[in-house]
Chains A and B, each alone.
Chain A
């Protein structure tokens, strides 16, 4: 998983830095390089990445994330939040003109998905009570008009076309008249794909704009676009003043860094996400999902949040101190276990424990049923017994086994494992001072 890659890399980098003592600004730079690479891999434009990184660096330094127990995750969380901020934390909807018909104009590069998206929007907004008209203004691409007509036919939405002999400006004007006469309160103009550097065709769009005064100009962008996304978005926006963006083909496996690039250079909201070829495959754009996608981390973020909820740093620090000073009791153990349980799938969560290396845990087998037994055993002990397991003699063991519905053997095993664990902890804290390997043979008592 990409996230793992990034997270591990960050964790390693940070560890290395910690070993050297104090963390300098130069060190932060090194961490930021990892993030920079991750974003570039996701096709975020290079310049945008640079801006973004400098912003993040400030925040990261300000928040002292490097002092925290899980700095790698902290950094990712900040990056994630900042990505969401940049791409728009609120849902941006399309708007309607107070004096209908509302006109939308779809623009963009060749093959980005304008015609398909026109159909999708018509269908979506009709469900919201609109009476849409699709307008065929692509007079260049072979069978473009037919394509829109087929789309309209599938949806039962009327398509306005007067062939490919007239110029698109006149078609748009005529369509507007037609819409008014036929009581359409929404007009969606499909235009031909064009390069942003094609001045003649860009002028044509400007002419359509000034003759029909669209309420919104929507730039349709293929989510697989690479570094060039900024040039395209910037040019279309400068020439036409776009109102929003539709990001298409997000049903694939693209990381979609273009989303960030486009948003960054235009400042205009991304309003919809195209999720497939079917005319129902359209969704409102979600910045949070997009941010996770760009970082390649899927659901892992929510896991981090869960971990953070369950482990407040203070408690974790206390715990670490107890471990170090050998004051870790069965009560602490129970407490930690219960916190763990709150977070769900254990194997996944364990790796997020402060100080626990995910790789080292790969061989640790977590049996949740056994964990339940362990819990019951500890709960059947007196406070005194939990603080000082040394006093637990034969008769006490018998009582505890009976009270917890387990066997004496299990009680014995727990006590033995706990002692071993304490020894391990001691060894571990000493080891981590010198080496990175650490937890290799560490055995959890469940």
Chain B
């Protein structure tokens, strides 16, 4: 099954939800009036887009409707779609691993799918005939190292690790040395899940980043924030706070194979300008795909 089939399947519920509701709205309202806009706004909110962003989108929509003197309610759907695509495509960017060495650091709150995504990303990169190693810098969670090791074996890449409880910065230091010695193209660092509200744990991330800067100056860097698509408005707080301690280059949006609408992507893009680079659509190694804004919105509205 190809990506878009998979995505479509995953989004079946979403799509049904949204389009059915929109159709209902369009049928029940003969003309474009305030109540119609209100209903549309509600539809956006139920997709986890968030109130602020939803209201903003609706305001834009209203303006356009006025400007274009639209009277046909069904044209709204098209406009709304364009609006969403525009938000998502602004400054679109992909995972950049063209230059070696490259260090990818994967961060995020607990249980969002960091370790699993690393397995998938490593696989993706390895398929491009690049040399990859992993750093097991989650030294805190029970069996986190074992979990990453299993992924490393599945993908067929090396892993640098120390014992549970050791200093994450020290693990990353080791991994950087190994990367240099073995002429590795991409080093991917797993980190422990941490709530963004824990100051000391956020400081720890800075420390890890400093080690990379110091030991591999000039290396290409990607810092990926992993967000769970089922997460509601808190994802915005996560993105904001993690941005304060790390130069986030992109988002990996996981668990899009569920019924969660993933609308938070739109809110985050709109409010924080952080692009989504990859999406997780399952637990298997191949269940990772490049994020494509157009296709994403198309799939929502098909």
Interface residues of A (CB under 8 A from B): 37, 40-43, 45-46, 109-113, 115, 140-144, 146-151, 154, 195-197, 222, 224-229, 231-232, 249, 251-255, 257-258, 277
Residue of A nearest to B257 (CB): A195
**CB-CB under 8 A for A255 and B233, given A109-B258, A142-B147, A227-B46:** yes
A142 contacts B151, C-beta separation under 8 Å: yes
A227 contacts B232, C-beta separation under 8 Å: yes
Interface string of B123-153 (1 = CB under 8 A from A): 0000000000000000011111011011100
B111 CB contacts on chain A under 8 angstroms? 110-113, 222, 249
Q: Which of A46, A226, A249, A255 contacts B230 (CB 8 A)?
A: A226
A353 CA to B13 CA, complexed, in Å = 50
Q: Which of B143, B193, B197, B233 contacts A251 (CB 8 A)?
A: B197
Q: Does any Cβ of A come within 8 Å of B48's Cβ?
A: yes
Interface residues of B (CB under 8 A from A): 13, 42, 45-48, 50-51, 109-113, 119, 140-144, 146-147, 149-151, 154, 164, 193, 195-197, 228, 230-235, 237, 255, 257-261, 264, 283
A43 CA to B231 CA, complexed, in Å = 9
B234 contacts A147, C-beta separation under 8 Å: no
B110 contacts A143, C-beta separation under 8 Å: no
- Please list 10 pairs of residues, one from A and one from B, whose beta carbons are closer than 8 Å in the complex, sorted by A's number: A40-B51, A147-B147, A196-B258, A222-B111, A224-B109, A228-B230, A228-B259, A228-B260, A229-B230, A252-B196
A195 CA to B255 CA, complexed, in Å = 9
B141 CB contacts on chain A under 8 angstroms? 147, 277
A148 CA to B147 CA, complexed, in Å = 12
**Minimum C-beta distance from A407 to chain B (A):** 50
A251 CA to B109 CA, complexed, in Å = 12
B142 contacts A147, C-beta separation under 8 Å: yes
A146 CB contacts on chain B under 8 angstroms? 142-143, 146-147
B110 CB contacts on chain A under 8 angstroms? 111, 113, 249, 277
B193 CB contacts on chain A under 8 angstroms? 277
A146 CA to B142 CA, complexed, in Å = 8
B258 contacts A254, C-beta separation under 8 Å: no
Residue of A nearest to B146 (CB): A143
**Minimum C-beta distance from A42 to chain B (A):** 8
**Minimum C-beta distance from A249 to chain B (A):** 6
A110 CA to B164 CA, complexed, in Å = 23
A142 CB contacts on chain B under 8 angstroms? 119, 146-147, 150-151, 154
A196 CA to B230 CA, complexed, in Å = 12
B146 CB contacts on chain A under 8 angstroms? 142-143, 146-147
Residue of A nearest to B154 (CB): A142
**CB-CB under 8 A for A224 and B234, given A113-B111, A142-B150, A249-B195:** yes
**Residue of B140, B150, B233, B261 with highest tally of chain A CB at under 10 A:** B233
A440 CA to B278 CA, complexed, in Å = 54
**Minimum C-beta distance from B135 to chain A (A):** 17
A253 contacts B237, C-beta separation under 8 Å: yes
A195 CA to B260 CA, complexed, in Å = 10
Residue of B nearest to A111 (CB): B111
A252 CB contacts on chain B under 8 angstroms? 109, 195-197, 234
A251 CA to B45 CA, complexed, in Å = 25
A143 CA to B151 CA, complexed, in Å = 10
A231 CA to B196 CA, complexed, in Å = 27
Residue of A nearest to B153 (CB): A142
A196 CA to B260 CA, complexed, in Å = 11
A340 CA to B47 CA, complexed, in Å = 46
**Residue of A112, A113, A228, A229 with highest tally of chain B CB at under 10 A:** A228
B258 contacts A227, C-beta separation under 8 Å: no
In the A-B complex, the 8 residue pairs with the smallest Cβ-Cβ separation, listed nearest first, are A226-B232, A111-B111, A43-B232, A150-B142, A142-B150, A147-B143, A143-B147, A143-B146
**Residue of B154, B232, B264 with highest tally of chain A CB at under 10 A:** B232
Apart from A143-B150, A224-B235, what are 13 other A-B pairs with CB-CB below 8 Å?
Answer: A37-B51, A40-B45, A43-B232, A43-B233, A109-B258, A147-B141, A147-B142, A147-B147, A195-B259, A197-B259, A222-B111, A253-B196, A253-B197
**CB-CB under 8 A for A258 and B232, given A40-B51, A147-B147, A226-B264:** yes
A150 CA to B139 CA, complexed, in Å = 13
B150 CB contacts on chain A under 8 angstroms? 142-143
**Minimum C-beta distance from A193 to chain B (A):** 9
**Minimum C-beta distance from A109 to chain B (A):** 7
A40 CA to B257 CA, complexed, in Å = 24
**Minimum C-beta distance from A122 to chain B (A):** 13
**Minimum C-beta distance from B237 to chain A (A):** 6
A154 CB contacts on chain B under 8 angstroms? 142
